Amino acid sequence: MAETGIGAAVRRKEDQRFLTGAGNYVDDIARPGQTYACFVRSPHAHARIRSVDTKKAAAAAGVVAVFTGKDVADAKLGSLFCGWMVTDRHGQPMKTTPHPVLAADTVRYVGDHVAVVIGESREAAAAGAELVSVDYQALPAVVSSVAALKSGATQVHKDVPGNLVYDWVLGDQAATETAFKRAAHVTKIDLVNNRLIPNAIEPRASVGDYDRGTDQLTLYTTSQNPHVHRLALSAFIQIAPETKIRVVAPDIGGGFGSKIFIYAEECVVLWAAKKIGRPVKWTADRVEAFQSDAHGRDHVTHAELAMDKDGKFLGFKVSTIANLGAYLSTFSSSVPTYLYGTLLAGQYATPAIFCEVKGVLTHTAPVDAYRGAGRPEATYVVERIVEEAARQLKIDPAELRRRNFIAPSAFPYQTPVALQYDSGNYVGALDKALKVADYAGFARRKAESTKRGKLRGVGFSSYIEACGIAPSQVVGSLGAGVGLYEAAEVRFNATGGVTVFTGSHSHGQGHETTFAQLVGDRLGVPIENIEVVHGDTGRIPFGMGTYGSRSLAVGGSAIDKAMDKIIAKGRKIVAHLMEASEGDIEFKKGMYTVAGTDKKMSLGEVAFAAYVPHKLPTDQIEPGLDETAFYDPKNFTFPFGTHICEVEVDPETGRTSIAKFTAIDDFGHIVNPMIVEGQVHGGIGQGIGQALLEACVYDEKTGQLLTGSMMDYALPRADDVPSYTVGLTTTPCPHNPLGVKGCGEAGAIAAPAAVMNAITDAIGAPLEMPATPARVWAALQKRAAKAA
Amino acid sequence: MYQFEYHRATSVEDALAKLKKASDGKLVAGGMTLIPTMKQRLAQPSDLIDLGGLKDLRGIKVEGGKVVIGAMTRHFDVANSADVKKAIPALAVLAGGIGDPMVRYRGTIGGSIANSDPSADYPAAVLGLGATIKTNKREIAADSYFKGLFETALEAGEMITAVSFPVAKRAGYMKFPQPASRYAMVGVFVADTGSGIRVGVTGAGPCAFRAKDIEAALAKSFTPDAAGTVKIASKGLNSDIHGSAEYRAHLVSVMAKRAVAQALGG
């Protein structure tokens, strides 16, 4: 069992089909009689729609139908919505805005959805879309969150005065101010967390299908959470009752958060499929993806850290302006609040913390969760200011962290910003990272770089993450519109194979392998006899999906709980067949034994007996071996670690190369170390992308998206990232049955601060992300001018 | 992509005759710019005349102190030509750094130079080596070929057939890629032609140009530092979200310095 059990680096079962081109993505789906949708999108950042003339388009060859905002209003389709109601500092609910699936009378960002043309082919739909004549009255636009807050700024929605969705606070302001009065030293920092465009390799796609005979609607769509989509399509968009809607999210080529949300296009194709009585398919092209996928980050922050004379943290104040875009996306409101402010304690025993966040509307695409969602932004603030403080106090950055870490003996630890950390050993991860990264040898390496005319720097990031948002009762009290449990069904077949139905959704994470290992290890079934099914509301129990690094900790625990029930039922069956007492029956790795005897029975035999119940008293023991469980966690899980980055800057060109990157992470118990390492690599790659390359830029005057394609938006390529050195420490999560935490976002959370701290160390001048060669060079010029 | 008529030319004359007949026709060589533009529905030619079958335009000859490259020669073939590597190694280096392998297998020298993208690599070598552009009508000297943004001396009904590069005593090419597209933010081709120094710059301005100040400095002393210490004026240079005109001006000196080092075998 060891070679496929928990802890084994099993090759991913799903890769056979992915690597041989046999995957089944949404765009691979073709339904009989299928039509194609093309959306007419706003070329303006802000405009009033005077009129929409669809006559020419409707008459064009190959065009099946054209629908506009008026049509969806007439059909009384519901509005897109924000599923988390944040309460502001005065106890008032945040401001919300209507968001029709096709714009009513105003467009509010470049790419806003105005009309849809449905054609016999993609080309016919695209040609038809060009014939839709929209009479726009262009209006002034505001794209920066800071500008949107200024008095007199253009209003994005009339229901949101001053463009302020909420002014939210967390922590004890009075205690924090008192701490600052006692401070021997205060470090201040201003930071921009750059806006990012997710860019999953598979763009969003949807196929709507309607069966007239059964009145059933099926939506095949790129979703990380098909049941959440079904609920929204029914309860909010009001297309049909939940019983009449099936949502299928088949193989999905990456999500990074951007496929959590309910988007206009998928609502429209499903509604239109019923309206025209034919399947409707839409696949975003890359330009549409850049314009209309929910973007990530976009924070402007001022922070201050108060310390005593020994560098002990006394208080921490953070003030952030978060750009939420033109409309509130599904979970947008929670990202800069409950997923950000709550993480500002980091790994430190800072006694007083106060955080205020202003959520702001602008004429840009909606902003929502993107790999890490709030937690990268928090880590970036904490780890940049800690390193800046170390520089100012001339204390080694590792030493300053060590002085302020929450001690391993202090858990569970209640932070001043709501969370209770369950476990941790921060100094353990730091020490291991220092050793693996050969921190002691840095000075030697720096001298060698200097000899070659290069500037070398080192930077740290000791991050904390909170995965698997929970429990449902708590998130409900904070304004969440959903519960955050997970569902699983473990179904034995009569011949001993197992099908696992999980509410988690895999869009690159390798669940088909990890979950099979989990089940195989405990139930003694070879993993090739375990099928993992996900992503289809017609097959799986009501699940919440995959985001926030929750799948193993929450979804895996639900599977474990279902296995508890399977084992308990098997025990009943064995007790009857062996004529033994249930209390005497032991279960281990798929085998039941009766204590004190040589009697035994495998779980496979039990399954056969359960489905062919010739010898069972079926009035007392139901036939079958099929159990469902819902698991609601007691708390978040809290992965942590230290990443150390060394960079070399070419002072002539400003180009940064990453010379060395060490990541020591603590994810608790590991099921498949190869998959975990892959997740860490990918996360760091995205973190380095944010630090060095990626920036979504809108023109300040016109609101046009300047980084609307790969020609101008720089994603990291293989040669932009180094070979990583990764390692683990193991502090199991104490409150879930598997002792696991979550690994999907850690790299993206930790890496930006580590890289930027290293560059700052190298060049001795402040700068913002992304640290492009041009920006680094400009910072060096500025420093030189100052010195002169 | 919009619909268009496709033609496969059998000769230069045939290509130009078909072009003349078309209402809004385009010649397509490798198609590395035209095809993506059409796929985005940003170009709508009535006819495409494919030059892919014109074998006579494909190939490399070294004769009389010149490397003559047919217009339809792919970047991959230039990069891997033993003759080019021997005669003008910097030209092989340049061709081997264009785009990615897929682009190098499809893209052609004639297509690149006819398009005159401000950040394409070849124009730097054309100017740096003082090449001659051969067309169906005439020969055009490099110095009078590049006219502006996507604008050249080519006239209607005129088509590049080959480019002739004089073999230099020594030469080097260095580029600094724009981080997203990896086109040249600045690319500098430096050549000691034997009868003078020439420095061709791409990426920095609306079209490729010669850096006369660096040429003068290198004429006095053909050393990296001589090039690197020349301050280039930023006026008129490109400025965008990836780099200011000042940054590009600075990079011209730095890339020139490194190109000289490469020319000297560094």
| Beta partners for residue A531, in sequence order | A499
| B40 or A216: which leads in pLDDT | A216
- Choose from B186, B237, B242 for mutation: most chain A CBs within 10 A: B242
Of all residues in chain A, the one with the smallest CA distance to B183 is A711
- C-beta of residue A8 within 8 angstroms of C-beta of residue A204: no
Q: In the prediction, which pLDDT does B266 show?
A: 63
A185: Cα within 13 Å, side-chain hemisphere: 18
How distant is the alpha carbon of residue B13 from its chain centre?
A: 24
CB contact under 8 Å between A778 and B181, yes or no, is no
CB contact under 8 Å between B179 and A772, yes or no, is yes
- C-beta of residue A306 within 8 angstroms of C-beta of residue A186: yes
CB contact under 8 Å between B180 and A652, yes or no, is no
- Residues of chain B contacting A197 with CB distance shorter than 8 Å: none
CB contact under 8 Å between B242 and A712, yes or no, is yes
Q: What is the spatial distance between Cα B160 and Cα B144, in angstroms, rounded to a whole number?
A: 15
- Residues of chain B contacting A655 with CB distance shorter than 8 Å: 176
B56 three-class SS: helix
CB contact under 8 Å between B243 and A707, yes or no, is no
A415 three-class SS: coil
State how far residue A14 is from chain B, nearest Cα, in angstroms: 29
B1: confidence class by pLDDT, cuts 50, 70, 90: confident
Of all residues in chain B, the one with the smallest CA distance to A656 is B179
Q: What is the spatial distance between Cα B59 and Cα A651, in angstroms, rounded to a whole number?
A: 42
Q: How many CB atoms lie within 10 A of CB A764?
A: 13
How distant is the alpha carbon of residue A754 from its chain centre?
A: 20
> Tokens in use for B210?
């010669």
Of all residues in chain A, the one with the smallest CA distance to B243 is A774
- Residues of chain B contacting A697 with CB distance shorter than 8 Å: 241
Residue reference for tokens 């603590």: A666
Partner residue facing B254 (CB), from A127, A652, A710: A652
pLDDT (tens digit, 9 = 90+) per residue, A351-397? 999 999 999 999 999 999 999 999 999 999 999 999 999 999 999 99
For chains A and B, CB pairs below 8 A equal 44
Pick from B150, B147, B143, B114: which is nearest to B129 by CA? Answer: B143
Partner residue facing A711 (CB), from B1, B180, B247: B180
Bond into A93 cis (ω within 30): no
CB contact under 8 Å between B180 and A693, yes or no, is yes
DSSP conformation letters of A510-565:
-HHHHHHHHHHHHHT--GGGEEEE-SBTTTS-S---S-TT-IIIIIIHHHHHHHHH
Q: Give CA separation, A707 vs A195, A424, A778, in Å.
A: 11, 41, 21
Rounded CA Rg of chain A = 27
- Residues of chain A contacting B231 with CB distance shorter than 8 Å: none
- Neighbour order of strands in the sheet with A486-492: A530-533, A498-502, A486-492, A626-631
- C-beta of residue A611 within 8 angstroms of C-beta of residue A494: yes
A340 in the Ramachandran plot: left (φ > 0), alpha (ψ -120 to 50) or beta?
A: alpha
Q: In the prediction, which pLDDT does A216 show?
A: 98
Q: In the prediction, which pLDDT does A597 show?
A: 93
A425 in the Ramachandran plot: left (φ > 0), alpha (ψ -120 to 50) or beta?
A: beta
pLDDT (tens digit, 9 = 90+) per residue, A499-540? 999 999 999 999 999 999 999 999 999 999 999 999 999 999
CB contact under 8 Å between A772 and B244, yes or no, is no
Q: Could you tell me which residues come within 8 angstroms of residue A97 by beta carbon, excluding any fewer than 6 positions away?
A: A157, A159, A160, A327, A328, A361
DSSP character at residue B230:
P
A714 three-class SS: coil
Do A299-469+635-787 and A485-631 agree at the fold level?
yes
State how far residue A773 is from chain B, nearest Cα, in angstroms: 8
Q: In the prediction, which pLDDT does A470 show?
A: 85
For residue B10, which amino acid is it? T
A312 three-class SS: coil
CB contact under 8 Å between A693 and B241, yes or no, is no
CB contact under 8 Å between B250 and A714, yes or no, is no
Q: Could you tell me which residues come within 8 angstroms of residue A583 by beta carbon, excluding any fewer than 6 positions away?
A: none
Name the CATH architecture for the domain at A299-469+635-787: 2-Layer Sandwich (3.30)
pLDDT (tens digit, 9 = 90+) per residue, A719-750? 999 999 999 999 999 999 999 999 999 999 99
pLDDT (tens digit, 9 = 90+) per residue, B74-118? 999 999 999 999 999 999 999 999 999 999 999 999 999 999 999
- A603-611 vs A557-578: helix crossing angle, rounded to 10: 80
Q: What is the ipTM of this complex?
A: 0.95
CB contact under 8 Å between A710 and B247, yes or no, is no
pLDDT (tens digit, 9 = 90+) per residue, A299-319? 999 999 999 999 999 999 999
Q: Give CA separation, A222 vs A308, A534, A729, A737, in Å.
A: 51, 13, 35, 31
> Tokens in use for B167?
């073999």
Q: In the prediction, which pLDDT does A116 show?
A: 98
- Choose from A285, A653, A768 for mutation: most chain B CBs within 10 A: A653
A314 three-class SS: strand
Partner residue facing B242 (CB), from A653, A774, A778: A774
Q: How far apart are the first and last CA of chain A?
A: 68
A443 three-class SS: helix
DSSP character at residue A665:
E
> Tokens in use for B170?
């020594």
Q: Give CA separation, A242 vs A217, A235, A260, A759, in Å.
A: 10, 8, 18, 52
User: For residue B210, which phi and psi values (nearest 5 degrees)?
Assistant: -95, 140
Pick from A509, A208, A466, A226: which is nearest to A347 by CA? Answer: A466
> Where do the DSSP E strands lie in B3-82?
5-8, 25-28, 47-50, 60-63, 66-70
Q: In the prediction, which pLDDT does B109 show?
A: 98
- Residues of chain B contacting A653 with CB distance shorter than 8 Å: 176, 251, 254
pLDDT (tens digit, 9 = 90+) per residue, A275-304? 999 999 999 999 999 999 999 999 999 999
CB contact under 8 Å between B179 and A713, yes or no, is no
Which burial class, exposed, middle or buried, applies to A629 when counting CB atoms under 10 A from its CB (0-12, 13-18, 19+)?
buried
Q: In the prediction, which pLDDT does A787 show?
A: 87
Q: What is the spatial distance between Cα A396 and Cα A381, in angstroms, rounded to a whole number?
A: 19
Rounded CA Rg of chain B = 18
Bond into A770 cis (ω within 30): yes
- Residues of chain A contacting B241 with CB distance shorter than 8 Å: 695, 697, 706-707, 712
- C-beta of residue A197 within 8 angstroms of C-beta of residue A707: yes
> Where do the DSSP E strands lie in A43-173?
47-53, 63-68, 106-107, 113-119, 133-138, 164-171
Residue reference for tokens 């792919």: B74
User: Mean pLDDT over all residues of chain A?
Assistant: 97
- Choose from B231, B241, B253 for mutation: most chain A CBs within 10 A: B241
- Choose from B38, B39, B251 for mutation: most chain A CBs within 10 A: B251
Of all residues in chain B, the one with the smallest CA distance to A122 is B1
Q: What is the spatial distance between Cα B72 and Cα A555, in angstroms, rounded to a whole number?
A: 58
Q: What is the spatial distance between Cα A249 and Cα A237, in angstroms, rounded to a whole number?
A: 19
Q: What is the spatial distance between Cα A299 and Cα A377, in angstroms, rounded to a whole number?
A: 8
- Residues of chain B contacting A693 with CB distance shorter than 8 Å: 179-180
To the nearest 10°, report the CA torsion of A19, A24, A25, A28: 110
Partner residue facing B241 (CB), from A706, A715, A777: A706
A426: confidence class by pLDDT, cuts 50, 70, 90: very high
Q: What is the spatial distance between Cα A765 and Cα A786, in angstroms, rounded to a whole number?
A: 11
Is the predicted pLDDT of residue A323 greater than 90, yes or no? yes
User: For residue A711, which phi and psi values (nearest 5 degrees)?
Assistant: -70, -25
Of all residues in chain A, the one with the smallest CA distance to B253 is A652
A1: confidence class by pLDDT, cuts 50, 70, 90: very low
CB contact under 8 Å between A777 and B250, yes or no, is yes
Name the CATH architecture for the domain at A485-631: 2-Layer Sandwich (3.30)
Is the predicted pLDDT of residue A346 greater than 50, yes or no? yes
Is the predicted pLDDT of residue A75 greater than 70, yes or no? yes
The contact set of B with A (CB < 8 A) is: 1-2, 40-41, 176, 179-181, 241-244, 247, 250-251, 254
Of all residues in chain A, the one with the smallest CA distance to B1 is A123
What CATH topology corresponds to A17-139+201-254+259-292? Aldehyde Oxidoreductase; domain 3 (3.90.1170)
Q: Which domains does chain B have, with CATH numbers?
A: 5-50 (3.30.43.10), 59-166 (3.30.465.10), 170-263 (3.30.390.50)
Which pTM value belongs to this model? 0.97
User: For residue A534, which phi and psi values (nearest 5 degrees)?
Assistant: -150, 165
- Choose from A199, A291, A650, A652 for mutation: most chain B CBs within 10 A: A652
Is the predicted pLDDT of residue A12 greater than 80, yes or no? yes
Q: What is the spatial distance between Cα A743 and Cα A88, in angstroms, rounded to a whole number?
A: 32
CB contact under 8 Å between B179 and A711, yes or no, is no
Residue reference for tokens 């069992």: A1
Length of chain B: 266
CB contact under 8 Å between A773 and B254, yes or no, is no
- C-beta of residue A63 within 8 angstroms of C-beta of residue A240: no
Q: In the prediction, which pLDDT does B194 show?
A: 87
Length of chain A: 788
Which burial class, exposed, middle or buried, applies to A351 when counting CB atoms under 10 A from its CB (0-12, 13-18, 19+)?
middle
User: For residue A292, which phi and psi values (nearest 5 degrees)?
Assistant: -120, -10
Bond into A412 cis (ω within 30): yes
- Domain layout of chain A by residue ranges: 17-139+201-254+259-292, 299-469+635-787, 485-631
State how far residue A691 is from chain B, nearest Cα, in angstroms: 13
Q: In the prediction, which pLDDT does A2 show?
A: 55
